[in-house]
Amino acid sequence: DPQKDADRLVQENGEAGQPAWLILQASCTHLGCVPTFVEGSQFGGWFCPCHGSDYDTSGRIRRGPAPKNLAPAPYLFTGPTAIRIG
């Protein structure tokens, strides 16, 4: 899914998120396993060892059985140095 990062940056209150932040839910879209970050992987991002789904650093599915990108997590900046996730 070639979704742009800018389309994935939305805070809980509906406002556009900070462009430097992309906060994702760590739940594989195949069967709900927990992907892990793999430095130096082919796509430079997340890998689900259960069934082999590869995601890039933006959480977009690149290879494997997962049908969708990793979902952005709901978040809200509550101050200049504080964020609430979930």
30 catalytic per annotation? no
Residues 67, 83: Cα–Cα separation, whole Å: 29
Strands 53-55 and 46-48: antiparallel
Of residues 51, 63, 68, 84, which has the active-site annotation? Answer: 51
Q: CA-based diameter of the chain, in Å?
A: 39
Q: What does the block give as tokens for 20?
A: 């430097």
pTM (2 d.p.): 0.74
Summarised one tens digit per residue, pLDDT across range 18-68 is 556 788 888 988 988 899 888 777 888 889 988 889 999 888 999 999 999
